[in-house]
Amino acid sequence: MALSQSGATRDHWSSRSAFILAAVGSAVGLGNLWRFPAEAGANGGGAFVLFYIACVLLIGLPILLSETLIGRHGQSAAPESVRRVASASRASPRWDILAGMGVLAAFLILSFYCVVGGWVLYYIGVFIGDIFTSGIAGGAFEGQSAEAVEALLPDLFANGPMMVGMNFVFLAVTLYFVARGVSGGIEIVANYMMPAFFILLVAITIYGAFGGAFTQTLDYLFTFEPEKLTGPVMLAALGQAFFSLSLGVAGMITYGGYVGRNVNLAGTSAIIASADTLVALLAGLCLFPIVFAAGLAVGAGPGLMFQTLPHAFQEMPFGSVVGLLFFVMVGFAALTSSVALLEVPTAWMIDRFRIVRPLSAIIVAAGAMTLGALAALSFNVLSDWHPLGFIPVFEGQGFFDVLDGLTAKFFMPIGAILTAIFVGWVADRKLIDMENGLGGALHLFWLFLVRFLCPIALVGILVVGIFPGLFD
């Protein structure tokens, strides 16, 4: 039915605040809680964090507005939305490649994202078990040394079948909500889980602040050492900014497609970006004191949240309860993002092949489960498999890390470069002026960022990130 694609009958967010909650839910997720502290830890702390904030303000925010405005104008799945903007601007419909790449990238992210979602479920189980075995007053291993705890815990990362099973459960929950639709499923998740998430985050941050290592954390996160700002660190910070804001992979074009005409996109974009950045910083302030206080290493990379932190909880008073609440909170944030990730390719399939929503979502989820299982097993059974090992940046990396690096360091920046050129140079000026909700000097500044700063900075960072030796 052709009508179902028109703005009039398509499913929409039920209100402006529903859109904001869902978009903040999409942005705030494992990217803020797991990936941001891990990347900051692996890339030297302060220099990474400050460059990350600059990327959010000068590149992320203008691109976020560009994506939502393409989506809102197009009122369709991402590639079709780009084609509609192109056709209104008498430009080539082939610009839809920027969204096509995005749909593929969102699918790749979804597949490893749900692996991490599975780790979250696993630890929810571990802490529930701890409460049953040792009550709520203590951590399961309170008073024992980090090494002793390490020896006691079963290692999730060695357990392939457990990881794949948990991955399946997390993906199935995601699938359930996406199959129910935009206003009847995705919105419901955001409506309940985002407020609960914020309350838990603030509570746990306060708890961590009393743990003692707060000033050490502030030093670590905000001391700027310019010599640490190398090309790869800049690219990592940029990739993190895009990952965290759900940019460069057609995510915000897709969500923008369900936004009504009356919503001011500039204002909502600013709210989304601020909330997301605030949560990333709070997550850092919440995690590192706990890690420092337990005397554990910060440079643990991806293991920070799923190996280091659980041990820290298990050594603290009330650690089992706080640990449980912590991972429930992470699970809420993860789910509001995984539904967004699944929605991107699902919306595309509905639009492209006219398959009904539940079936489209099932097909995408089945594909993501297949890749996800391979990603999960790359930590154990398949640890010797280095799929893109012949490319220097992926040398020695397993499938999980390749999926993550490929999307954050290639797909996202390239998608963003194309978006900036498309919106800044190709799309019709009147259309853009009408959609973006900006006036006067702010409008000109935004246009300057999208036309000049974003493409140039993105190309520059991509080059120094991939070829760090180039300017030595």
Q: Which stretches of the chain bind ligand TRP, using CB under 6 A? A: 26-27, 29-32, 106, 109, 243-244, 246, 249, 251, 337, 340-341, 344
- Give 294: exposed, middle or buried? Use CB within 10 Å, 0-12, 13-18, 19+: buried
| Closest distance to ligand TRP from the beta carbon of 213 (Å) | 25
- Assigned token pair, 71: 């989506």
Distance CA 245, CA 262 (A): 23
| Closest distance to ligand TRP from the beta carbon of 202 (Å) | 19
Residue (62 or 256) nearer to ligand TRP, CB: 256
| Closest distance to ligand TRP from the beta carbon of 241 (Å) | 10
| Closest distance to ligand TRP from the beta carbon of 381 (Å) | 27
Residue (80 or 343) nearer to ligand TRP, CB: 343
Position closest to ligand TRP via CB: 31
| Closest distance to ligand TRP from the beta carbon of 440 (Å) | 31
Residue (55 or 321) nearer to ligand TRP, CB: 55
| Closest distance to ligand TRP from the beta carbon of 404 (Å) | 10
Output DSSP code: residue 2.
G
Residue (277 or 308) nearer to ligand TRP, CB: 277
Residue (105 or 294) nearer to ligand TRP, CB: 105
Residue (103 or 294) nearer to ligand TRP, CB: 103
Residue (269 or 320) nearer to ligand TRP, CB: 269
- Assigned token pair, 178: 């996406």
Alpha-carbon distance values, 224 to 215, 231, 254, 267, 439 (Å): 15, 16, 37, 31, 35
Q: Long-range contacts: 46-49, Cβ < 8 Å, 24+?
A: 46/220, 46/221, 46/222, 46/223, 46/224, 46/225, 46/228, 47/224, 47/225, 47/226, 47/228, 47/229, 47/233, 48/228, 48/233, 48/236, 48/237, 49/221, 49/222, 49/237, 49/281, 49/284
Cα angle for residues 269, 33, 358 (degrees, 5° grid): 70
CA atoms within 13 A on the CB side of 170: 36
Q: Where are the alpha helices (DSSP H) in 137-264?
A: 146-152, 160-179, 187-210, 214-222, 231-245, 251-256
Are 52 and 31 in contact by the 8 Å Cβ rule? The answer is: no
| Closest distance to ligand TRP from the beta carbon of 31 (Å) | 2
| Closest distance to ligand TRP from the beta carbon of 255 (Å) | 8
CA atoms within 13 A on the CB side of 399: 21
Residue (68 or 246) nearer to ligand TRP, CB: 246
Residue (200 or 316) nearer to ligand TRP, CB: 200
Write down how long the chain is: 472
- Burial track 357-375 (b if 16+ CB lie within 10 A, e otherwise): beebbeebbeebbebbbbb
| Closest distance to ligand TRP from the beta carbon of 309 (Å) | 17
Count each helix (H run) and each strand (E run) in the chain, helices first. 23, 0
